[in-house]
Amino acid sequence: MSDIHALSGAYAVDALDDVERAGFERHLATCPTCRDEVASLEEAASLLIESASPLSAPDTLRERVMAEIALFRPLPPLTGQAAPAPVVRGDHGHAAPEARDLAPVVPLRRRRVPALAAAAAVVAALGLGATVVQPLVDRGRDGQPVITESGVQRVLQAPDARTQTYTIKGGARAVVTVSRELGQAVLRAEGLGDLPPGMVYELWLQHDERMVAAGFLPAGADATVLLTGDASTATAIGITTEPEGGSPQPSLDTAIRFPLTKV
Amino acid sequence: MTEPRQSVAGVSPETPATAPADSHAELAEHLQRSARGDQQAFGRLYEAMSARVYGLAVRVVRDPAQAEEVAQEAFLEIWRMAGRFDPERGSPLAWMLTIVHRKAVDRVRSAEAATRRDTSYHQHNQPVAHDATAEAAHAGLEARRVRAALNTLTPVQREALELAYFGGYTHTEVASLLGLPVGTAKTRIRDGLIRLRDTMGVGG
C-alpha cells in the first residue's frame, strides 16, 4: 500500500491498467502530494511530443472538429463547494425515476443458473427513488478532475444517455448508463462484495449470443467504469468473477447479466 | 497567475522556458473564451494545437484514420471541458495533451483485441509526409531542448518512458518488454519523468 505513490509516473503517462488506474485515482483523492506530483509529471510528459518529428493534421480534421463542436455547449465550470451534484440524466434531463426496478437477472446464454446467479435471482426490487448518481465528477484530481473521468462523463452527459439501475442481492447495485450514439456504456457498481485474492470482477458486453470482454471493476469498492468495446448494439452487460487478468470467456456460473433496453 | 513559481510541488502557470509557439497565456485565453462558447477562439486553439494533438494521436495509435478520430474526440472534449481547465493546476498544453493521450491509449488498448497493433502498423505505415511548415514551427529550440533533456535519462528510463508514452503499454507490459523485474518499470518511468521535468524546469 505504501508503494502506491510509486505509480504516479505510470499514471501520468496512462501506463496503468484499468484496475490499477481506478485504485490509484482513489488514492489521489486523498493524497495531495501525489496529486501535485502527477500534475508536475504530466507537464513533463506533455513535452515528449516535442521530441517527435512533427506531423500536420489532415485538412479534413479541422472541418470535422469545427462542425462537431458547434453541436455541443461547453460544460459549465465547476463552482467549488456548492457544485450541483452531477445528475445522471435519464431520458430528458429528469433526475428521476429511471430507476428501473429490477431487471431480470438471467444466466448468460440460457445456461443453468447456479450459485451466484441463482442468488441474484432472489434480488429484490428496491424502490429506488431517483437515479442520482453521486460524485462522478470530482473523483481523482481535484481541480482538474474531468480528465480522468472524461470518457465516463461523456457518456453520462450524452444527449441519448439512458440510465438503468439494477439491484443485486445483498444490497449491491449496478447503475448502467448507455449512450447508443457514442457506442459506450458506463457501469457504476456499489456494494459488490470483496473477492478472494487473485479474483477480479470482469465486465462483458453481450452481442447476440456472444460475450465480449469489456474491462474490469476494481474489487471491493464502489467504482465507476467505462466499459471498453462497442456498446452501440449490445443487448446486455454482464459481470462475472474471473481469475486476475480476466478470461477469454465468461465463467457462467458467476454471471450477473443486465439486459439493456433496445435503442 | 503570474507568480513565477509556486513553492511546493505546485505547477507554475507560466513556464516561459518551455512555452511553445503559442504561449501558455494565449492558449489559456483561447480556452477561457471557448468555455464561453466562442467558436472562433476555439478555431485559434485548433490552429495552435492541431499538429501536436494529431501528432500525438498518430504516434500512439499509428493508424492515421484512427488517429484522426482520436484527435477529433479529443478536440470535442477540450471544447466541452474548457471551462474546467484550471491554470493553477497546470499548463494548458499539458491539460490538453493529457486528454489526447488518454484517448489515444484507450483506443489502442480497446482496438488491440480486434487487430494486432503491429499488423495495422505495417499496413498503414505509409510514411505520412512531414509538413515543412509544421516542422519549422515545432522543431526549433524547444525540440532540441527536449531531446537534450531526454539524453540525460538512463537508456532504460528513456526506453521505459517512450514505450509507455508512445507505445501505450502498461508499466507491467513495459517491464516484460524490457526484461525488467515486474514492478520496476513504473519506477523507471517515474524517475525518467522526474528527470525530464527537472531538466526542463517545468511543473514544480
- pLDDT per residue over B112-150, tens digit each? 645 544 444 444 343 444 444 444 444 578 889 999 999
Of residues A16, A40, A77, nearest to B171 (C-beta) = A16
The three-state secondary structure class of B114 is: coil
Residue of A19, A42, A64, A139 to mutate for B, most B C-beta atoms under 10 A: A42
Half-sphere exposure of B69 (CA within 13 A, CB side): 11
Nearest to B72 among A6, A7, A64 (CB): A64
Spatial distance between the Cα atoms of A71 and A52, rounded to a whole number of angstroms? 33
Cα–Cα distance, A242 to A249 (Å, whole number): 9
Whether domain B1-138 has CATH 1.10.1740.10: the reply is yes
Q: How far is B118 from chain A (nearest CA, A)?
A: 19
The CATH code that applies to domain A2-69 is: 1.10.10.1320
Q: How many residues does this entry show for chain A?
A: 263
Check residue A261 and give its pLDDT: 67
B202 contacts in A (CB within 8 Å)?
40, 43-44, 47
3-state secondary structure string across chain A: CHHHHHHHHHHHCCCCCHHHHHHHHHHHHHCHHHHHHHHHHHHHHCCHHHHCCCCCCCHHHHHHHHHHHCCCCCCCCCCHHHCCCCCCCCCCCCCCCCCCCCCCCCCHHHCCCCHHHHHHHCCCCCCCCCCCCCCCCCCCCCCCCHHHHHHHHHHHCCCCCEEEEEEEHHHEEEEEEEECCCCEEEEEEECCCCCCCCEEEEEEEEECCEEEEEEEECCCCCEEEECCCCCCCCCEEEEEEEECCCCCCCCHHHCEEEECCCC
User: Residue A143 and residue B186: Cβ atoms within 8 Å?
Assistant: no
Fold for the domain defined by B140-204: Arc Repressor Mutant, subunit A (1.10.10)
Q: Where are the domains of chain B?
A: 1-138, 140-204
Residues 6+ apart with CB under 8 A from B203: A39, A40, A41, A42, A43, A44, B11, B12, B15, B90, B91, B94, B197
8 Å CB contact of A54 and B131? yes
Report the alpha-carbon distance of residue B11 to residue A43 in Å, rounded. 8
Please name which of A35, A209, A197, A191 lies closest in space to residue A123, comparing C-alpha atoms: A191
Query: Nearest CA of chain A to the CA of B148: how many Å?
Result: 9
Instruction: Find, among B47, B46, B110, B36, the residue nearest to B75 by Cα.
Output: B46
Q: Taking CA atoms, what residue in B is nearest to A56?
A: B51
What pTM was estimated for this model as a whole?
A: 0.57
Chain B residue with the nearest C-alpha to that of A74: B80
Which residues of chain A are within 8 Å of residue B49 when distances are taken between CB atoms? none
Here the ipTM equals 0.81
Q: Kindly state whether B191 is in contact with chain A, defined as any CB-CB distance less than 8 angstroms.
A: yes
Which residue in B has a C-alpha nearest to residue A150's C-alpha? B77
Picking from A50, A56, A73, the nearest residue to B142 by CB comes out as A50
Cell triple for A101: 426496478
Closest-CA distance, B166 to chain A, in angstroms, reads: 9
Of A69, A144, A150, the CB nearest to B102: A150
Of the two residues B13 and B52, the one the predictor is more confident about is B52
Task: For A39-50, give one letter per residue: b (16+ CB within 10 A) or e.
Answer: bbbbbbbbbbbb
- Bin B203: left if φ > 0, else alpha if -120 < ψ < 50, else beta: left
pLDDT tens for chain A, 263 residues: list them.
448 899 999 999 999 998 999 999 999 999 999 999 999 999 999 999 988 887 899 999 999 999 999 999 999 988 764 433 333 333 333 333 333 333 333 333 333 334 333 333 333 222 222 222 333 333 333 333 333 446 777 787 787 887 777 767 666 777 788 888 788 888 888 777 777 777 778 888 887 777 788 888 876 567 788 888 888 888 888 887 777 777 777 776 666 777 776 54
| Start and end residues for every CATH 1.10.10.1320 domain found in chain A | 2-69
Q: Which three cell numbers stand for residue B25?
A: 497565456
Which residues of chain A are within 8 Å of residue B189 when distances are taken between CB atoms? 9-10, 13, 15
Polymer length of chain B: 204
What is the spatial order of strands in the sheet that A210-217 belongs to? Answer: A210-217, A199-207, A236-243, A256-259
C-alpha A20: how far from chain center: 14
Interface contact B84-A145, CB threshold 8 A:
yes
- Which site among A11, A43, A182 would you substitute to test the B interface, given the most B Cβ atoms closer than 10 Å to its Cβ? A43
> How many angstroms separate the CA atoms of B81 and A12, rounded?
19
